[in-house]
Amino acid sequence: MCKGLAALPQSCLERAKEIKIKLGTLLQKPDTAVDLVIPYNEKPEKPAKTQKPSLEEALQWRDSLDKLLQNNYGLASFRSFLKSEFSEENLEFWIACEDYKKTKSPAKMAEKAKKIYDEFIQTEAPKEVNIDHVTKDITVRNLVEPSRSSFDLAQKRVHALMEKDCLPRFLRSPCYQELVL
């Protein structure tokens, strides 16, 4: 079990399966709002078969955060791990940005941009991500006229933070070790 989750009835892998199902549903609906919080005791709407990655796939995550983020099972495992450490805001921001880029309607884009700003960017936001003031200023300026690239710089900075900090911790975690042993 993941650190901090010993008292909960689910293993990291079981939780990752639930998140994968929920995330897969969200990513297939690009114009719907992203439900960034998945309560721990929430069950997926309908059971779906989840497939554990091959050893080769899981080992590739050591080389690339992008490979991990592109794999639904890996993404769900990584998210579960970060939740166990109370540090999921960077991943949630990255996911929100990916969803935002798929938005076609200018009105929905503006609505989502405001939601992302309010939740992750503004000072003392509920899930404020750690970006430098220059990146924050550029992002705020980009939001005057929202476009698909409005959050690109901030997302790139957050990706780099996850790659340098979160990914190495995940790779040492029991969550990941269960997949490669």
Helix axes 133-142, 152-161, angle to 10 degrees: 150
The CATH number assigned to the domain with range 12-180 reads 1.10.167.10
pLDDT tens, position by position, 91-119: 999 999 999 999 999 999 999 999 999 99
Q: What is the mean pLDDT of the chain?
A: 81
Q: Which residues contact 123 (CB under 8 A, 6 or more apart)?
A: none
Dist CA 53 CA 6 (whole Å): 24
pLDDT tens, position by position, 149-169: 999 999 999 999 999 999 999
Band of pLDDT at residue 72, cut at 50, 70 and 90 = very high
Domain residue spans of the chain:
12-180
**Quick check: 135 pLDDT over 70?**
yes
pLDDT tens, position by position, 3-52: 443 433 455 556 555 555 554 544 444 433 333 343 333 333 333 345 89
Dist CA 127 CA 114 (whole Å): 14
Q: Which pair of tokens denotes residue 100?
A: 């935002």
Query: Greater confidence, 54 or 15?
Result: 54
Can you give the pTM of this predicted structure? 0.72
